[in-house]
Chains A and B, each alone.
Chain A
Amino acid sequence: GENVEQHPSTLSVQEGDSAVIKCTYSDSASNYFPWYKQELGKRPQLIIDIRSNVGEKKDQRIAVTLNKTAKHFSLHITETQPEDSAVYFCSSSGSARQLTFGSGTQLTVLP
């Protein structure tokens, strides 16, 4: 089955700096890569996703890049704000539409 690895497990940045979270996946058939933000005790919220037919997608301060050859995808958050502090999960899915999640990154934005 699919295996998704995520790094780092914790990340602290100063407000205004950028944060980068990286993931790798194992199944070359995976074609959909969503990123979720989860605050403590809350549901995961979709923040951005990318499909395998594109290499990059941007939505305001958030961007995701995908390298299908290397099976890498990354989340980039620019101009971080304290409210960006949360746990971020990468995930992937293929034709079965089942999501496999990474282990999560606890992002802390220091004011």
Chain B
Amino acid sequence: GAVVSQHPSRVICKSGTSVKIECRSLDFQATTMFWYRQFPKQSLMLMATSNEGSKATYEQGVEKDKFLINHASLTLSTLTVTSAHPEDSSFYICSASRRGPRQETQYFGPGTRLLVL
């Protein structure tokens, strides 16, 4: 149990376009979903935390108007990178946590590799 999927796995887009990434919890209800960004050979950096039905909480330095997060249901969160630029190229990973005795455990999706040309 506790499987998280992400779609697409990789995307190449032109500068100025928008890209939407989906994160789904397949076999559990995710009370909270997290979005991370990971540059090559670096650690995971938390971008934002989202709870179902409420606005996402963004980390310092992350532009909420550029990285739009929607958590419309207990199994789906989306991250939209608006007007993407080459510096947004990165590995975007979501994670989800659930209710219950191990609610602090985060289950990670497989990641989305974004390349902006």
A window 65-93: CB within 8 A of B = 89, 93
CB contacts (< 8 Å) of A35 on chain B: these are: none
Chain A residues positioned under 8 Å from B106 (CB to CB): 34, 46, 97, 99
- A43-B111, A46-B105 known; A102 and B93 CB under 8 Å? no
The smallest beta-carbon distance between B49 and chain A, in angstroms, is 6
**What is the size, in residues, of chain A's interface with B at 8 Å between Cβ atoms?**
21
Question: How far does the alpha carbon of A96 sit from the alpha carbon of B111 in the complex, in Å?
Answer: 23
Point out the residues of chain B lying under 8 angstroms from A42, CB to CB: 110-111
A97-B32 Cα distance, complex, nearest whole Å = 9
Q: How large is the interface on B (under 10, 10 to 19, 20 to 34, 35 or more residues)?
A: 20 to 34
Contact A99 B34, beta carbon cutoff 8 Å: yes
Q: Which residue of B lies closest to A96 (CB)?
A: B49
**Contact residues of B: prevailing secondary structure:** strand
How long is the Cα–Cα vector from A44 to B103 in the complex, in angstroms?
A: 18
Identify the closest chain B residue to A102 (Cβ). B43
Q: Which of A1-37 contact B (CB under 8 A)?
A: 32, 34, 36
Given A43-B110, A99-B106: A104 touches B46 (CB 8 Å cut-off): no
B62-93 residues at the A interface, CB under 8 angstroms: 91, 93
Are A32 and B104 in contact (CB-based, < 8 A)? Answer: yes
- Chain A residues near B91 (CB-CB < 8 A): 41
Closest-CB distance, B34 to chain A (whole angstroms): 7
Contacts of B44 in A (CB 8 A): 44, 89, 99, 101
- Chain A residues in the interface with B (C-beta under 8 A): 32, 34, 36, 41-46, 49, 89, 93, 96-104
Contact surface of B with A, Cβ cutoff 8 Å: 32, 34, 42-46, 49, 91, 93, 95, 97, 103-111, 113
A-B complex: 3 closest residue pairs judged by Cβ atoms? A43-B108, A32-B104, A101-B43
Other than the given A46-B107, A97-B106, 9 more pairs (CB < 8 A) read: A34-B106, A41-B91, A41-B113, A42-B111, A43-B93, A43-B111, A45-B108, A103-B43, A104-B43
